[in-house]
Amino acid sequence: MSRIAVCKPPSYHAGRRRQARSDWPRMSTSTEQLPWLDLPRLHKPLVEKSLTGLKMFGYQYKKKSETVAEGMAYIERKNYIHRDLRAANILVSETLTCKVADFGLARIIENEYTAQEGAKFPIKWTAPEAINFGKFSIKSDVWSFGILLTEIVTYGRIPYPGMTNPEVIRYLDRRYRMPCPESCPKQLYEIMLICWNESPEERPTFEYLQTTLEDFYVATEGQYEAHP
Protein backbone atom coordinates (compact mmCIF):
# COMPACT_ATOMS: atom_id res chain seq x y z
CA MET A 1 0.00 0.00 0.00
CA SER A 2 1.17 3.48 -0.72
CA ARG A 3 2.52 5.37 2.29
CA ILE A 4 0.94 8.67 1.29
CA ALA A 5 -2.50 9.90 2.17
CA VAL A 6 -4.64 12.96 1.68
CA CYS A 7 -6.38 14.22 4.80
CA LYS A 8 -8.69 17.02 5.80
CA PRO A 9 -7.63 18.52 9.15
CA PRO A 10 -9.50 21.40 10.79
CA SER A 11 -9.05 24.77 9.16
CA TYR A 12 -6.97 27.48 10.84
CA HIS A 13 -6.25 31.20 10.47
CA ALA A 14 -9.80 32.11 11.48
CA GLY A 15 -11.63 34.41 9.12
CA ARG A 16 -9.45 33.52 6.16
CA ARG A 17 -9.69 29.80 5.62
CA ARG A 18 -12.84 27.83 4.98
CA GLN A 19 -13.56 24.49 6.63
CA ALA A 20 -12.11 21.62 4.62
CA ARG A 21 -14.53 19.96 2.20
CA SER A 22 -16.17 16.72 3.29
CA ASP A 23 -15.56 15.05 -0.08
CA TRP A 24 -11.77 15.36 -0.31
CA PRO A 25 -10.18 12.16 -1.64
CA ARG A 26 -8.51 10.12 1.04
CA MET A 27 -6.32 7.01 1.01
CA SER A 28 -6.67 4.69 3.98
CA THR A 29 -3.70 3.87 6.20
CA SER A 30 -3.19 1.57 9.15
CA THR A 31 -1.65 4.31 11.30
CA GLU A 32 -4.55 6.62 12.04
CA GLN A 33 -4.00 6.42 15.82
CA LEU A 34 -0.33 7.38 15.68
CA PRO A 35 0.78 10.91 16.54
CA TRP A 36 1.43 13.13 13.52
CA LEU A 37 4.08 15.82 13.21
CA ASP A 38 4.57 18.35 10.46
CA LEU A 39 7.81 17.97 8.50
CA PRO A 40 9.72 20.88 10.07
CA ARG A 41 9.26 19.35 13.53
CA LEU A 42 9.89 15.75 12.52
CA HIS A 43 13.68 15.63 12.58
CA LYS A 44 14.48 15.91 16.30
CA PRO A 45 11.79 13.60 17.76
CA LEU A 46 12.64 10.71 15.46
CA VAL A 47 16.38 11.02 15.92
CA GLU A 48 15.84 10.93 19.70
CA LYS A 49 14.07 7.58 19.25
CA SER A 50 17.33 6.14 17.85
CA LEU A 51 16.10 4.87 14.50
CA THR A 52 18.96 3.69 12.28
CA GLY A 53 21.41 6.52 12.71
CA LEU A 54 21.36 10.13 11.61
CA LYS A 55 22.47 9.59 8.01
CA MET A 56 20.02 6.82 7.25
CA PHE A 57 17.29 8.82 8.94
CA GLY A 58 18.30 11.79 6.83
CA TYR A 59 17.74 9.67 3.75
CA GLN A 60 14.31 8.54 4.91
CA TYR A 61 13.38 12.09 5.88
CA LYS A 62 14.44 13.59 2.58
CA LYS A 63 12.81 10.75 0.66
CA LYS A 64 9.48 12.11 1.89
CA SER A 65 9.58 14.48 -1.08
CA GLU A 66 8.87 11.47 -3.29
CA THR A 67 5.75 10.54 -1.34
CA VAL A 68 4.57 14.16 -1.23
CA ALA A 69 4.90 14.24 -5.03
CA GLU A 70 2.85 11.03 -5.13
CA GLY A 71 0.08 12.61 -3.07
CA MET A 72 0.10 15.76 -5.18
CA ALA A 73 0.00 13.67 -8.37
CA TYR A 74 -3.24 12.17 -7.03
CA ILE A 75 -4.62 15.65 -6.36
CA GLU A 76 -3.46 16.70 -9.84
CA ARG A 77 -5.42 13.86 -11.45
CA LYS A 78 -8.54 14.98 -9.57
CA ASN A 79 -8.18 18.56 -10.92
CA TYR A 80 -7.65 20.09 -7.49
CA ILE A 81 -5.10 22.72 -6.57
CA HIS A 82 -3.78 23.02 -3.03
CA ARG A 83 -2.49 26.65 -2.97
CA ASP A 84 -0.70 26.22 0.38
CA LEU A 85 1.80 23.43 -0.22
CA ARG A 86 4.65 23.71 2.27
CA ALA A 87 6.37 21.55 4.85
CA ALA A 88 4.13 22.75 7.70
CA ASN A 89 1.18 21.20 5.84
CA ILE A 90 2.78 17.79 5.34
CA LEU A 91 2.03 15.53 8.30
CA VAL A 92 4.26 12.55 9.04
CA SER A 93 3.70 9.66 11.45
CA GLU A 94 6.36 7.85 13.45
CA THR A 95 6.34 5.16 10.76
CA LEU A 96 7.15 7.87 8.18
CA THR A 97 3.71 7.73 6.55
CA CYS A 98 2.92 11.11 4.96
CA LYS A 99 -0.31 13.04 4.59
CA VAL A 100 -0.84 16.13 2.47
CA ALA A 101 -2.90 18.28 4.82
CA ASP A 102 -4.69 21.62 5.20
CA PHE A 103 -6.95 22.13 2.22
CA GLY A 104 -8.28 25.44 3.51
CA LEU A 105 -7.13 27.25 0.36
CA ALA A 106 -7.73 24.39 -2.07
CA ARG A 107 -10.00 24.63 -5.10
CA ILE A 108 -11.25 22.32 -7.83
CA ILE A 109 -10.43 23.78 -11.23
CA GLU A 110 -10.48 23.15 -14.97
CA ASN A 111 -7.28 25.06 -15.73
CA GLU A 112 -6.48 27.91 -13.37
CA TYR A 113 -8.09 29.84 -10.53
CA THR A 114 -7.93 33.60 -9.99
CA ALA A 115 -7.95 34.62 -6.34
CA GLN A 116 -10.18 37.42 -5.12
CA GLU A 117 -8.56 40.80 -4.63
CA GLY A 118 -7.05 41.06 -1.16
CA ALA A 119 -6.69 37.29 -0.72
CA LYS A 120 -3.79 36.26 1.51
CA PHE A 121 -1.32 33.47 0.81
CA PRO A 122 2.20 32.50 1.97
CA ILE A 123 4.48 34.67 -0.16
CA LYS A 124 7.68 32.65 0.21
CA TRP A 125 5.97 29.53 -1.15
CA THR A 126 3.86 31.23 -3.83
CA ALA A 127 4.61 31.31 -7.56
CA PRO A 128 5.24 34.71 -9.23
CA GLU A 129 2.09 34.58 -11.38
CA ALA A 130 0.02 34.01 -8.24
CA ILE A 131 1.75 36.80 -6.32
CA ASN A 132 1.46 39.33 -9.15
CA PHE A 133 -1.83 38.38 -10.80
CA GLY A 134 -3.61 36.06 -8.36
CA LYS A 135 -3.52 33.23 -10.91
CA PHE A 136 -3.26 29.77 -9.35
CA SER A 137 -2.99 26.43 -11.12
CA ILE A 138 -1.50 23.02 -10.46
CA LYS A 139 1.70 24.54 -11.87
CA SER A 140 1.78 27.10 -9.06
CA ASP A 141 1.58 24.13 -6.69
CA VAL A 142 4.61 22.71 -8.53
CA TRP A 143 6.49 25.94 -7.77
CA SER A 144 5.55 25.55 -4.10
CA PHE A 145 6.76 21.96 -4.19
CA GLY A 146 10.18 23.20 -5.28
CA ILE A 147 10.22 25.49 -2.24
CA LEU A 148 9.12 22.60 -0.04
CA LEU A 149 12.13 20.62 -1.31
CA THR A 150 14.43 23.27 0.15
CA GLU A 151 12.65 22.91 3.50
CA ILE A 152 13.20 19.17 3.42
CA VAL A 153 16.90 19.22 2.57
CA THR A 154 17.56 21.92 5.21
CA TYR A 155 15.40 20.19 7.87
CA GLY A 156 12.81 22.94 8.05
CA ARG A 157 14.70 26.15 7.34
CA ILE A 158 12.39 28.98 6.26
CA PRO A 159 12.82 29.71 2.52
CA TYR A 160 14.71 32.83 1.44
CA PRO A 161 16.52 33.11 4.80
CA GLY A 162 17.05 36.67 5.96
CA MET A 163 14.61 38.13 3.42
CA THR A 164 11.27 39.79 4.14
CA ASN A 165 8.19 39.10 2.03
CA PRO A 166 8.48 42.43 0.13
CA GLU A 167 12.14 41.64 -0.58
CA VAL A 168 11.21 38.20 -1.91
CA ILE A 169 8.65 39.78 -4.25
CA ARG A 170 11.20 42.29 -5.58
CA TYR A 171 13.84 39.61 -6.09
CA LEU A 172 11.41 37.28 -7.85
CA ASP A 173 10.53 40.13 -10.23
CA ARG A 174 14.24 40.05 -11.16
CA ARG A 175 13.99 36.27 -11.64
CA TYR A 176 16.07 35.51 -8.58
CA ARG A 177 16.17 31.89 -7.44
CA MET A 178 17.45 30.54 -4.15
CA PRO A 179 20.95 29.04 -4.44
CA CYS A 180 21.56 25.35 -3.95
CA PRO A 181 21.27 24.53 -0.22
CA GLU A 182 24.36 23.23 1.52
CA SER A 183 24.81 19.46 1.11
CA CYS A 184 21.99 19.32 -1.46
CA PRO A 185 22.90 17.06 -4.41
CA LYS A 186 23.13 18.85 -7.74
CA GLN A 187 20.50 16.54 -9.26
CA LEU A 188 17.99 17.47 -6.57
CA TYR A 189 18.69 21.18 -6.98
CA GLU A 190 18.07 20.81 -10.71
CA ILE A 191 14.63 19.42 -9.87
CA MET A 192 13.99 22.50 -7.74
CA LEU A 193 15.00 24.76 -10.62
CA ILE A 194 12.59 23.17 -13.10
CA CYS A 195 9.82 23.65 -10.53
CA TRP A 196 10.77 27.34 -10.47
CA ASN A 197 10.57 27.89 -14.21
CA GLU A 198 9.25 31.40 -14.85
CA SER A 199 6.70 29.98 -17.30
CA PRO A 200 4.06 27.85 -15.55
CA GLU A 201 3.57 25.80 -18.71
CA GLU A 202 7.24 24.76 -18.64
CA ARG A 203 7.08 23.38 -15.11
CA PRO A 204 6.80 19.60 -14.77
CA THR A 205 3.74 17.64 -13.69
CA PHE A 206 3.62 16.01 -10.27
CA GLU A 207 3.52 12.63 -12.00
CA TYR A 208 6.86 13.49 -13.62
CA LEU A 209 8.26 14.73 -10.30
CA GLN A 210 7.19 11.54 -8.53
CA THR A 211 8.93 9.35 -11.13
CA THR A 212 12.04 11.55 -11.23
CA LEU A 213 12.39 11.58 -7.45
CA GLU A 214 11.86 7.82 -7.24
CA ASP A 215 14.70 7.34 -9.73
CA PHE A 216 16.90 9.81 -7.86
CA TYR A 217 16.44 8.15 -4.47
CA VAL A 218 16.93 4.64 -5.88
CA ALA A 219 20.20 5.81 -7.41
CA THR A 220 21.44 7.46 -4.19
CA GLU A 221 20.12 5.10 -1.49
CA GLY A 222 23.36 3.12 -1.32
CA GLN A 223 25.32 6.25 -0.44
CA TYR A 224 23.41 6.50 2.85
CA GLU A 225 23.43 2.77 3.64
CA ALA A 226 27.18 2.59 3.13
CA HIS A 227 27.80 5.27 5.77
CA PRO A 228 25.54 4.60 8.80
Query: Please, which pLDDT band fits residue 170 given cuts at 50, 70 and 90?
Result: very high
Where are the chain's structural domains? 4-203
Q: Does domain 4-203 have CATH number 1.10.40.30?
A: no
Neighbour-count burial of 115, counting CB atoms closer than 10 A to its CB (0-12 exposed, 13-18 middle, 19+ buried) = middle
Q: Give the pLDDT of residue 30.
A: 30
> pLDDT tens-digit profile of 27-37?
322 334 334 44
Average pLDDT for residues 32-53, to the nearest whole number? 41
Neighbour-count burial of 156, counting CB atoms closer than 10 A to its CB (0-12 exposed, 13-18 middle, 19+ buried) = middle
Q: Give the pLDDT of residue 217.
A: 87
> pLDDT tens-digit profile of 107-136?
555 554 455 555 577 999 999 999 999 898
pTM of the model: 0.73
Asked if pLDDT for residue 43 goes beyond 70, the answer is no
Q: Could you say which of 23, 38, 84, 215 is catalytic?
A: 84
Asked if pLDDT for residue 44 goes beyond 70, the answer is no
Worst-scoring range by mean pLDDT, 31-45, 71-85, 120-134, 180-194? 31-45
Alpha-helical regions (H) of the chain? 43-48, 54-62, 64-77, 128-133, 138-153, 165-173, 186-195, 206-225
Query: Please, which pLDDT band fits residue 92 given cuts at 50, 70 and 90?
Result: confident
> pLDDT tens-digit profile of 189-206?
999 999 999 999 999 999
Residues 6+ apart with CB under 8 A from 60: 51, 96
- DSSP state, 101? -
- Is 84 a known active-site residue? yes
Q: Give the pLDDT of residue 213.
A: 94
